[in-house]
Amino acid sequence: MLKNKKIILGITGSIAAYKAAYLIRALVKKGAEVQVVITPAGKEFITPLTLSTLSNKPVISEFFSNRDGAWNSHVDLGLWADAMLVAPATASTIAKMANGVADNMLITTYLSCKAPVFIAPAMDLDMFAHPATQQNLEKLRSFGNQIIEPAEGELASHLIGKGRMEEPDIIVQRLENFFASQTELQKKKILITAGPTYEKIDPVRFIGNYSSGKMGFALAEACAGKGAEVILIAGPVSLKTQHPNIRRINVESAEEMYQAAVREFAESDAAILCAAVADYRPETVSQDKIKRENKEEMTLHLVANKDIAASLGATKRSNQLLVGFALETSNELTHAADKLKRKNFDFIVLNSLRDPGAGFQVDTNKIVILDAKGDAISYLVKSKQEVALDIVNKLVTLLQ
Ligand code: CTP
Protein backbone atom coordinates (compact mmCIF):
# COMPACT_ATOMS: atom_id res chain seq x y z
CA MET A 1 0.00 0.00 0.00
CA LEU A 2 2.86 2.42 0.67
CA LYS A 3 4.97 1.44 -2.35
CA ASN A 4 5.98 4.53 -4.33
CA LYS A 5 3.75 6.74 -2.16
CA LYS A 6 5.18 10.22 -1.73
CA ILE A 7 5.00 11.33 1.87
CA ILE A 8 5.92 14.65 3.44
CA LEU A 9 6.96 14.06 7.02
CA GLY A 10 6.70 17.24 9.09
CA ILE A 11 8.75 17.14 12.28
CA THR A 12 8.38 19.72 15.05
CA GLY A 13 10.08 20.57 18.34
CA SER A 14 9.07 17.74 20.65
CA ILE A 15 11.05 15.14 22.54
CA ALA A 16 9.11 12.59 20.47
CA ALA A 17 11.05 13.80 17.39
CA TYR A 18 13.40 10.84 17.91
CA LYS A 19 10.49 8.56 16.95
CA ALA A 20 10.49 10.26 13.53
CA ALA A 21 13.68 8.33 12.75
CA TYR A 22 11.83 5.02 13.26
CA LEU A 23 8.91 6.36 11.26
CA ILE A 24 11.10 7.19 8.27
CA ARG A 25 12.75 3.77 8.45
CA ALA A 26 9.41 1.98 8.49
CA LEU A 27 7.98 4.09 5.65
CA VAL A 28 11.08 3.71 3.46
CA LYS A 29 11.17 -0.04 4.14
CA LYS A 30 7.61 -0.29 2.80
CA GLY A 31 8.65 1.47 -0.39
CA ALA A 32 7.50 5.04 0.35
CA GLU A 33 9.43 8.13 -0.68
CA VAL A 34 9.79 10.40 2.34
CA GLN A 35 10.57 14.12 2.24
CA VAL A 36 11.28 15.55 5.66
CA VAL A 37 10.28 19.14 6.45
CA ILE A 38 11.45 20.15 9.91
CA THR A 39 10.74 23.28 11.96
CA PRO A 40 13.62 25.25 13.48
CA ALA A 41 12.66 23.90 16.92
CA GLY A 42 12.55 20.35 15.56
CA LYS A 43 16.25 20.59 14.72
CA GLU A 44 17.01 21.07 18.41
CA PHE A 45 15.67 17.56 19.06
CA ILE A 46 16.95 15.54 16.10
CA THR A 47 19.62 16.36 13.55
CA PRO A 48 18.89 16.86 9.86
CA LEU A 49 21.85 14.57 9.15
CA THR A 50 20.11 11.61 10.83
CA LEU A 51 16.90 12.35 8.95
CA SER A 52 18.46 12.90 5.53
CA THR A 53 20.50 9.70 5.90
CA LEU A 54 17.39 7.66 6.70
CA SER A 55 15.19 9.27 4.04
CA ASN A 56 17.90 9.48 1.36
CA LYS A 57 16.89 13.08 0.72
CA PRO A 58 18.12 16.46 1.93
CA VAL A 59 15.95 17.71 4.78
CA ILE A 60 14.00 20.91 4.10
CA SER A 61 13.76 23.49 6.85
CA GLU A 62 14.22 26.99 5.47
CA PHE A 63 12.45 28.88 2.68
CA PHE A 64 15.78 29.28 0.88
CA SER A 65 19.37 28.18 1.31
CA ASN A 66 21.63 30.72 3.00
CA ARG A 67 24.54 29.24 1.08
CA ASP A 68 23.38 29.77 -2.51
CA GLY A 69 19.92 31.33 -2.26
CA ALA A 70 18.25 28.19 -3.73
CA TRP A 71 14.51 28.43 -3.13
CA ASN A 72 12.51 25.59 -1.60
CA SER A 73 9.08 25.66 -3.20
CA HIS A 74 6.46 24.69 -0.66
CA VAL A 75 3.90 24.86 -3.47
CA ASP A 76 5.70 22.21 -5.55
CA LEU A 77 6.18 20.12 -2.46
CA GLY A 78 2.53 20.38 -1.46
CA LEU A 79 1.47 19.22 -4.93
CA TRP A 80 4.06 16.41 -5.05
CA ALA A 81 2.78 14.57 -1.98
CA ASP A 82 0.30 11.69 -1.77
CA ALA A 83 0.01 12.38 1.96
CA MET A 84 1.43 14.71 4.58
CA LEU A 85 2.14 13.45 8.07
CA VAL A 86 3.06 15.78 10.91
CA ALA A 87 4.65 13.64 13.60
CA PRO A 88 5.33 14.74 16.23
CA ALA A 89 2.99 17.73 16.11
CA THR A 90 3.44 20.17 19.00
CA ALA A 91 0.68 22.35 20.46
CA SER A 92 2.30 25.34 18.77
CA THR A 93 2.40 23.75 15.31
CA ILE A 94 -1.18 22.51 15.72
CA ALA A 95 -2.26 26.07 16.58
CA LYS A 96 -0.41 27.49 13.58
CA MET A 97 -1.92 24.89 11.25
CA ALA A 98 -5.42 25.57 12.56
CA ASN A 99 -5.03 29.32 12.10
CA GLY A 100 -2.84 29.56 9.02
CA VAL A 101 0.13 31.20 10.76
CA ALA A 102 2.61 30.61 7.95
CA ASP A 103 5.89 31.52 9.64
CA ASN A 104 7.90 28.43 8.76
CA MET A 105 8.40 26.03 5.87
CA LEU A 106 6.30 23.30 7.47
CA ILE A 107 3.20 25.48 7.78
CA THR A 108 3.50 26.95 4.27
CA THR A 109 3.85 23.41 2.94
CA TYR A 110 0.77 22.36 4.93
CA LEU A 111 -1.23 25.28 3.53
CA SER A 112 -0.22 24.38 -0.03
CA CYS A 113 -0.78 20.66 0.40
CA LYS A 114 -3.65 19.17 -1.62
CA ALA A 115 -3.06 15.66 -0.27
CA PRO A 116 -4.65 14.20 2.87
CA VAL A 117 -3.01 15.33 6.10
CA PHE A 118 -2.37 13.21 9.19
CA ILE A 119 -1.39 14.77 12.50
CA ALA A 120 0.15 12.90 15.43
CA PRO A 121 0.16 15.24 18.45
CA ALA A 122 2.82 14.97 21.14
CA MET A 123 2.77 17.11 24.26
CA ASP A 124 2.24 17.18 27.99
CA LEU A 125 -1.15 15.92 29.20
CA ASP A 126 -2.41 19.31 30.39
CA MET A 127 -1.36 21.01 27.17
CA PHE A 128 -3.21 18.34 25.22
CA ALA A 129 -6.33 18.61 27.36
CA HIS A 130 -6.39 22.43 27.27
CA PRO A 131 -9.43 23.83 25.44
CA ALA A 132 -7.10 25.86 23.20
CA THR A 133 -5.44 22.68 21.87
CA GLN A 134 -8.71 20.77 21.70
CA GLN A 135 -10.40 23.56 19.76
CA ASN A 136 -7.49 23.75 17.34
CA LEU A 137 -7.64 19.98 16.80
CA GLU A 138 -11.38 20.25 16.24
CA LYS A 139 -10.76 22.91 13.63
CA LEU A 140 -8.20 20.73 11.88
CA ARG A 141 -10.69 17.83 11.89
CA SER A 142 -13.26 20.13 10.30
CA PHE A 143 -10.73 20.76 7.48
CA GLY A 144 -10.76 17.00 6.89
CA ASN A 145 -7.34 16.42 8.50
CA GLN A 146 -6.98 13.15 10.40
CA ILE A 147 -5.79 13.27 13.97
CA ILE A 148 -3.84 10.26 15.18
CA GLU A 149 -4.75 10.47 18.85
CA PRO A 150 -1.81 10.38 21.28
CA ALA A 151 -1.49 7.42 23.61
CA GLU A 152 -1.57 7.42 27.40
CA GLY A 153 1.64 6.81 29.29
CA GLU A 154 4.62 8.42 30.95
CA LEU A 155 5.45 11.78 29.42
CA ALA A 156 8.69 13.75 29.21
CA SER A 157 7.54 15.65 32.32
CA HIS A 158 7.33 12.26 34.14
CA LEU A 159 3.62 12.88 34.56
CA ILE A 160 1.36 10.10 33.36
CA GLY A 161 -1.50 10.81 30.98
CA LYS A 162 -2.59 11.31 27.38
CA GLY A 163 -0.04 13.10 25.23
CA ARG A 164 2.55 10.58 24.05
CA MET A 165 2.88 10.50 20.32
CA GLU A 166 1.43 7.26 18.96
CA GLU A 167 4.01 4.57 18.16
CA PRO A 168 5.54 4.66 14.65
CA ASP A 169 4.20 1.23 13.61
CA ILE A 170 0.64 2.28 14.50
CA ILE A 171 1.04 5.53 12.56
CA VAL A 172 2.35 3.61 9.55
CA GLN A 173 -0.64 1.24 9.84
CA ARG A 174 -2.99 4.24 9.77
CA LEU A 175 -1.38 5.45 6.55
CA GLU A 176 -1.60 1.97 5.03
CA ASN A 177 -5.28 1.71 5.97
CA PHE A 178 -5.89 5.10 4.43
CA PHE A 179 -4.26 4.19 1.11
CA ALA A 180 -6.17 0.87 1.12
CA SER A 181 -9.43 2.76 1.67
CA GLN A 182 -8.72 4.90 -1.42
CA THR A 183 -9.60 1.97 -3.65
CA GLU A 184 -12.68 0.69 -1.76
CA LEU A 185 -15.10 2.28 -4.22
CA GLN A 186 -12.97 1.99 -7.32
CA LYS A 187 -15.01 1.35 -10.48
CA LYS A 188 -18.20 2.34 -8.62
CA LYS A 189 -20.43 5.16 -9.76
CA ILE A 190 -22.22 6.95 -6.92
CA LEU A 191 -24.99 9.48 -7.38
CA ILE A 192 -25.50 12.08 -4.64
CA THR A 193 -28.19 14.74 -4.33
CA ALA A 194 -27.37 17.73 -2.12
CA GLY A 195 -28.61 21.10 -0.97
CA PRO A 196 -32.06 22.68 -1.11
CA THR A 197 -34.33 23.11 -4.11
CA TYR A 198 -35.86 26.44 -5.06
CA GLU A 199 -39.42 26.48 -6.33
CA LYS A 200 -40.11 29.60 -8.34
CA ILE A 201 -42.99 31.93 -7.43
CA ASP A 202 -42.13 34.77 -9.80
CA PRO A 203 -38.88 36.09 -11.37
CA VAL A 204 -37.56 37.30 -7.99
CA ARG A 205 -39.06 34.95 -5.40
CA PHE A 206 -38.97 31.28 -4.56
CA ILE A 207 -39.88 28.74 -1.90
CA GLY A 208 -36.69 27.27 -0.43
CA ASN A 209 -35.26 25.83 2.76
CA TYR A 210 -32.24 26.18 5.03
CA SER A 211 -30.21 23.26 3.67
CA SER A 212 -26.56 24.34 3.18
CA GLY A 213 -25.52 21.32 1.10
CA LYS A 214 -22.54 20.72 3.39
CA MET A 215 -23.48 17.12 4.25
CA GLY A 216 -24.01 16.14 0.62
CA PHE A 217 -20.78 17.80 -0.49
CA ALA A 218 -18.86 16.04 2.31
CA LEU A 219 -20.37 12.73 1.12
CA ALA A 220 -19.27 13.46 -2.45
CA GLU A 221 -15.68 14.10 -1.30
CA ALA A 222 -15.70 10.98 0.91
CA CYS A 223 -16.91 8.74 -1.96
CA ALA A 224 -14.42 10.26 -4.41
CA GLY A 225 -11.68 9.84 -1.80
CA LYS A 226 -12.39 6.11 -1.86
CA GLY A 227 -12.00 5.93 -5.60
CA ALA A 228 -15.63 6.31 -6.77
CA GLU A 229 -16.80 8.28 -9.76
CA VAL A 230 -19.28 10.72 -8.21
CA ILE A 231 -22.18 12.52 -9.81
CA LEU A 232 -23.23 15.31 -7.51
CA ILE A 233 -26.62 16.81 -8.30
CA ALA A 234 -26.57 20.05 -6.36
CA GLY A 235 -29.35 22.48 -5.62
CA PRO A 236 -28.52 26.20 -5.32
CA VAL A 237 -25.54 26.36 -2.91
CA SER A 238 -22.31 28.32 -3.03
CA LEU A 239 -20.06 25.38 -2.06
CA LYS A 240 -17.18 24.19 -4.22
CA THR A 241 -16.04 20.63 -4.88
CA GLN A 242 -12.39 19.62 -4.48
CA HIS A 243 -11.92 16.13 -5.85
CA PRO A 244 -11.42 15.78 -9.62
CA ASN A 245 -13.63 12.64 -9.72
CA ILE A 246 -16.74 14.62 -8.80
CA ARG A 247 -18.94 15.60 -11.75
CA ARG A 248 -21.35 18.27 -10.61
CA ILE A 249 -24.75 18.94 -12.12
CA ASN A 250 -26.31 22.16 -10.87
CA VAL A 251 -30.09 22.28 -10.67
CA GLU A 252 -32.58 24.65 -9.13
CA SER A 253 -35.99 23.03 -8.77
CA ALA A 254 -37.15 19.63 -7.53
CA GLU A 255 -38.29 18.80 -11.05
CA GLU A 256 -34.82 19.52 -12.48
CA MET A 257 -33.25 17.44 -9.71
CA TYR A 258 -35.70 14.61 -10.44
CA GLN A 259 -34.88 14.61 -14.18
CA ALA A 260 -31.13 14.56 -13.56
CA ALA A 261 -31.37 11.90 -10.82
CA VAL A 262 -33.51 9.50 -12.86
CA ARG A 263 -31.20 9.88 -15.86
CA GLU A 264 -28.00 9.31 -13.85
CA PHE A 265 -29.29 6.58 -11.53
CA ALA A 266 -29.68 4.08 -14.39
CA GLU A 267 -25.88 3.93 -14.71
CA SER A 268 -25.05 4.19 -10.99
CA ASP A 269 -24.16 1.53 -8.44
CA ALA A 270 -25.64 3.53 -5.58
CA ALA A 271 -27.40 6.79 -4.81
CA ILE A 272 -27.27 8.82 -1.61
CA LEU A 273 -30.21 11.20 -1.46
CA CYS A 274 -29.14 13.96 0.83
CA ALA A 275 -30.97 16.89 -0.77
CA ALA A 276 -33.72 18.71 1.08
CA VAL A 277 -36.21 18.54 -1.78
CA ALA A 278 -39.26 20.78 -1.64
CA ASP A 279 -42.39 18.66 -1.37
CA TYR A 280 -44.53 21.28 -3.12
CA ARG A 281 -44.16 24.00 -5.76
CA PRO A 282 -46.44 26.85 -6.84
CA GLU A 283 -48.84 25.54 -9.46
CA THR A 284 -48.14 28.49 -11.71
CA VAL A 285 -45.07 30.72 -11.92
CA SER A 286 -45.87 34.34 -12.51
CA GLN A 287 -43.92 35.73 -15.50
CA ASP A 288 -43.92 39.19 -13.91
CA LYS A 289 -43.00 40.19 -10.41
CA ILE A 290 -46.11 39.85 -8.29
CA LYS A 291 -47.17 43.30 -7.09
CA ARG A 292 -48.45 43.96 -3.61
CA GLU A 293 -51.22 46.29 -4.84
CA ASN A 294 -52.30 46.95 -1.25
CA LYS A 295 -53.66 43.43 -0.86
CA GLU A 296 -53.80 42.27 2.76
CA GLU A 297 -53.61 38.60 1.84
CA MET A 298 -52.32 36.43 -0.90
CA THR A 299 -52.74 32.74 -1.58
CA LEU A 300 -50.32 30.50 -3.39
CA HIS A 301 -51.70 27.27 -4.73
CA LEU A 302 -49.13 24.52 -4.38
CA VAL A 303 -48.90 21.16 -6.12
CA ALA A 304 -46.81 18.16 -5.11
CA ASN A 305 -43.34 17.60 -6.54
CA LYS A 306 -42.24 14.14 -7.59
CA ASP A 307 -40.57 12.12 -4.85
CA ILE A 308 -37.11 11.42 -6.26
CA ALA A 309 -36.28 8.86 -3.57
CA ALA A 310 -39.51 6.90 -4.02
CA SER A 311 -39.08 6.89 -7.82
CA LEU A 312 -35.52 5.58 -7.61
CA GLY A 313 -36.60 3.11 -4.92
CA ALA A 314 -39.30 1.76 -7.24
CA THR A 315 -36.91 1.20 -10.17
CA LYS A 316 -33.88 0.08 -8.14
CA ARG A 317 -32.17 -3.04 -9.47
CA SER A 318 -30.96 -5.76 -7.10
CA ASN A 319 -27.34 -4.67 -7.68
CA GLN A 320 -28.05 -1.04 -6.81
CA LEU A 321 -28.14 0.56 -3.37
CA LEU A 322 -30.25 3.47 -2.24
CA VAL A 323 -29.50 5.58 0.82
CA GLY A 324 -31.86 8.20 2.18
CA PHE A 325 -31.90 10.87 4.84
CA ALA A 326 -34.54 11.82 7.35
CA LEU A 327 -34.42 15.07 9.27
CA GLU A 328 -37.07 14.85 11.93
CA THR A 329 -38.30 16.92 14.84
CA SER A 330 -40.41 14.32 16.68
CA ASN A 331 -40.96 10.52 16.76
CA GLU A 332 -37.67 10.37 14.91
CA LEU A 333 -37.09 6.61 14.75
CA THR A 334 -40.67 5.80 13.76
CA HIS A 335 -40.67 8.36 10.93
CA ALA A 336 -37.26 7.24 9.70
CA ALA A 337 -38.24 3.55 9.72
CA ASP A 338 -41.40 4.42 7.81
CA LYS A 339 -39.42 6.35 5.14
CA LEU A 340 -36.90 3.52 4.84
CA LYS A 341 -39.70 1.13 3.94
CA ARG A 342 -41.83 3.50 1.88
CA LYS A 343 -38.95 4.62 -0.34
CA ASN A 344 -37.22 1.21 -0.51
CA PHE A 345 -33.94 2.48 0.95
CA ASP A 346 -31.16 0.05 1.91
CA PHE A 347 -30.42 2.30 4.83
CA ILE A 348 -31.50 5.68 6.09
CA VAL A 349 -29.51 8.34 7.93
CA LEU A 350 -31.56 9.98 10.62
CA ASN A 351 -30.79 13.32 12.17
CA SER A 352 -32.96 15.01 14.71
CA LEU A 353 -33.33 18.77 14.87
CA ARG A 354 -33.69 18.25 18.63
CA ASP A 355 -30.03 17.16 18.88
CA PRO A 356 -27.64 20.06 19.39
CA GLY A 357 -25.00 19.95 16.65
CA ALA A 358 -27.28 18.32 14.05
CA GLY A 359 -29.15 19.63 11.06
CA PHE A 360 -28.99 22.56 8.66
CA GLN A 361 -26.28 25.22 8.35
CA VAL A 362 -23.97 23.75 11.04
CA ASP A 363 -20.59 22.07 10.45
CA THR A 364 -21.38 19.07 12.65
CA ASN A 365 -23.98 16.36 12.59
CA LYS A 366 -25.28 13.61 14.85
CA ILE A 367 -26.76 10.63 13.11
CA VAL A 368 -28.41 7.27 13.59
CA ILE A 369 -28.10 4.78 10.73
CA LEU A 370 -31.08 2.48 10.37
CA ASP A 371 -30.84 -0.35 7.87
CA ALA A 372 -33.36 -2.54 6.11
CA LYS A 373 -32.58 -5.42 8.51
CA GLY A 374 -33.78 -3.25 11.38
CA ASP A 375 -30.33 -2.58 12.87
CA ALA A 376 -29.81 0.92 14.27
CA ILE A 377 -26.42 2.43 15.08
CA SER A 378 -26.13 5.73 16.93
CA TYR A 379 -23.09 7.94 16.37
CA LEU A 380 -21.65 10.82 18.42
CA VAL A 381 -21.65 14.45 17.26
CA LYS A 382 -18.91 14.70 14.65
CA SER A 383 -17.81 17.03 11.87
CA LYS A 384 -19.80 16.54 8.66
CA GLN A 385 -16.61 15.14 7.05
CA GLU A 386 -16.36 12.43 9.71
CA VAL A 387 -20.09 11.71 9.53
CA ALA A 388 -19.72 11.37 5.75
CA LEU A 389 -17.01 8.75 6.29
CA ASP A 390 -19.24 6.75 8.67
CA ILE A 391 -22.03 6.78 6.08
CA VAL A 392 -19.73 5.87 3.20
CA ASN A 393 -18.12 3.07 5.24
CA LYS A 394 -21.59 1.58 5.74
CA LEU A 395 -22.18 1.84 1.99
CA VAL A 396 -18.84 0.14 1.30
CA THR A 397 -19.76 -2.86 3.49
CA LEU A 398 -23.09 -3.27 1.71
CA LEU A 399 -21.58 -2.87 -1.78
CA GLN A 400 -19.05 -5.57 -1.00
N1 CTP B 1 -36.64 13.03 -1.06
C2 CTP B 1 -36.54 13.04 -2.43
N3 CTP B 1 -37.47 13.70 -3.17
C4 CTP B 1 -38.49 14.35 -2.60
C5 CTP B 1 -38.60 14.37 -1.19
C6 CTP B 1 -37.65 13.70 -0.45
O7 CTP B 1 -35.61 12.44 -2.96
N8 CTP B 1 -39.38 14.99 -3.36
C9 CTP B 1 -35.65 12.28 -0.27
C10 CTP B 1 -34.74 13.13 0.59
O11 CTP B 1 -33.57 13.50 -0.13
C12 CTP B 1 -34.43 12.20 1.74
C13 CTP B 1 -35.69 11.37 1.88
O14 CTP B 1 -36.35 11.45 0.63
O15 CTP B 1 -33.39 11.30 1.43
C16 CTP B 1 -36.62 11.81 2.97
O17 CTP B 1 -36.95 13.16 2.77
P18 CTP B 1 -38.12 13.84 3.58
O19 CTP B 1 -38.32 15.23 3.09
O20 CTP B 1 -37.86 13.63 5.04
O21 CTP B 1 -39.28 12.88 3.11
P22 CTP B 1 -40.79 13.14 2.86
O23 CTP B 1 -41.28 11.92 2.17
O24 CTP B 1 -40.99 14.44 2.17
O25 CTP B 1 -41.36 13.12 4.33
P26 CTP B 1 -42.11 14.20 5.21
O27 CTP B 1 -43.44 13.58 5.41
O28 CTP B 1 -41.30 14.23 6.48
O29 CTP B 1 -42.13 15.49 4.46
Per-residue pLDDT tens digits for 99-112? 999 999 999 999 99
> Under CATH, which architecture does the 6-181 domain have?
3-Layer(aba) Sandwich (3.40)
Q: What is the pLDDT of residues 333-368, one digit of tens each?
A: 999 999 999 999 999 999 888 777 777 767 888 899
Tell which residue, 104, 156, 102, has the closest CA to residue 126.
Answer: 156
The amino acid at 292: R
Radius of gyration of the chain from Cα atoms? 25
Q: Bridge partners of 121?
A: 89
Instruction: Say if residues 163 and 127 touch (Cβ distance below 8 Å).
Output: yes
CA gap 365, 273 in Å, rounded: 16
DSSP state letter for 17: G
Q: pTM of the entire structure?
A: 0.80
Could you tell me the residue ranges of all domains in the chain?
6-181, 189-399
> Is the CB of 275 inside a 6 Å radius of any atom of ligand 1?
yes
Ligand 1 atom closest to the Cα of residue 278 is 8
Nearest to 105 by CA among 165, 35, 15: 35
Q: What is the pLDDT of residue 138?
A: 92
Same fold, 6-181 and 189-399: yes
Distance 309 CA to ligand 1 centre (A): 7
Do 77 and 37 meet the contact criterion of CB atoms below 8 Å apart? Answer: yes
Q: Using one digit for the tens of pLDDT, what is the confidence trace for 201-259?
A: 999 999 999 999 999 999 999 999 999 999 999 999 999 998 989 999 999 999 999 99
CA distance 215 to 361: 9
Cβ–ligand 1 distance for 175 under 6 Å, the answer no
* Residue 223 to residues 190, 226, 321, 362, 389, Cα–Cα distance (Å): 7, 5, 14, 21, 8
Q: Which long-range contacts (CB under 8 A, 24 or more apart) does 366-373 make?
A: 367/391, 368/332, 368/333, 368/336, 369/394, 370/333, 370/336, 370/337, 370/340, 371/340, 371/346, 371/347, 372/340, 372/345, 372/346, 372/347
Kindly list the distances between the CA atom of residue 342 and the CA atoms of 139, 179, 191, 222, in Å, as whole numbers in the listed order: 38, 38, 20, 27
CATH class of 189-399: alpha beta
With cut-offs at 50, 70 and 90, classify the pLDDT of residue 70. confident
Query: How far, in Å, CA of 241 to CA of 248, rounded?
Result: 8
- For residues 129 and 48, the answer to whether their CB atoms sit within 8 Å is no
- Split at pLDDT 50, 70, 90, the class of 383 is confident
Distances from the Cα of 76 to the Cα of 11, 182, 387, angstroms: 19, 23, 32
Can you give the pLDDT at residue 356? 77
Q: What separation in Å is there between the alpha carbon of 275 and the centre of ligand 1?
A: 8
